[in-house]
Amino acid sequence: MIKIVTDSTADIPKPLLERYDIQVVPINIQFGHETYEEGITIDRPTFFQRLEEVMPTSSQPAPGKLAQMYRKLADEGHSILSLHVTSKHSGTYQSALLAKSMVPEADIEVFDTLSISIGTGYQVLAAARAAEEGKSMEEILQLLEGIRSRMHLYFTPATLKYLQKSGRVGKLAGALASLLSLKPIIKVEDGLLEAFQNVRTRGKALDRLVELTAEAVGTTQPVKLGIPHAQADAEAEALRARLEKTFNCEEMHVVDLACSLTVHGGPGTIGIISYKV
């Protein structure tokens, strides 16, 4: 059987991880000289408490950690499909490729989702569901390439401060947004985060996320939607209700944005991820 491996940025709800027996390798989060494994040695309340004190960084899992997971699955007789956060902003995909080379006896495919959060998560779920249906590795990879090409991701952070400090968007965009008190819209294009537009208020930024999603996937065809957010529960639930009325929604998940992604976006980040079924 094909077993699915991903990393802790995928933001898949725990019941679905358990339902499909998806293996998750943690991203590392550093506060100064202290390193934590996301979801294992640091929880969300502790992360946000520490975030008020010091600016953290994140880093990919060590290849050896992934190789250990691959070896265990291979010893159990499984083929492995390992799907990871966009290689344009993380070294996790490269770590997975190195780990694959460390376990030459195993049947392993590594896939770059060119996505983040539940955008990666939906590709992981599609792979897990297809594997359960008995699809071959080639069929699953073809399916994933199609979903990846149809994925649309739009975010608005509460501030560009964290994106600026992490170098994930240009400093000029952050400076202009701060100067004009504007709210930025960030899009993920071919795996890259780009400062896309600025609007004047938080409310208008949320409206724009809905408008851009409607332009991308339409409002009549079946779609899958995700609302990742970092401590923006009320806004996320309001968005959920709005999207349910606006779109032909086949599946939707409101998820807590991974701490390792919140490092870059900061508290208050919220987004809409979508693709046509």
pLDDT in tens, 215-242: 999 999 999 999 999 999 999 999 999 9
Residue 182: pLDDT band with limits 50, 70, 90: confident
User: Residue 174 above 90 pLDDT?
Assistant: no
Indicate left, alpha or beta for 29 from its phi (over 0: left) and psi (-120 to 50: alpha): beta
DSSP code, position 41: T
Residue type, 74: A
Beta strands in the chain (DSSP E): 2-7, 23-25, 28-31, 34-37, 57-59, 79-84, 108-112, 152-156, 183-189, 192-199, 222-229, 248-256, 270-276
Entry pTM: 0.94
Cα distance between residue 251 and residue 244, in whole Å: 10
The pLDDT assigned to 180 comes to 58
Residues 265, 5, 36, CA angle at the centre, nearest 5°? 50
Residue located via tokens 């094909």: 2
Instruction: List all residues 6 or more positions away from 52 whose beta carbon is below 8 Å from its beta carbon.
Output: none
Residue 196: pLDDT band with limits 50, 70, 90: confident
- What is the pairing mode between strands 79-84 and 108-112? parallel
Q: Are 25 and 124 in contact (CB under 8 A)?
A: no
Residue located via tokens 């929880």: 43
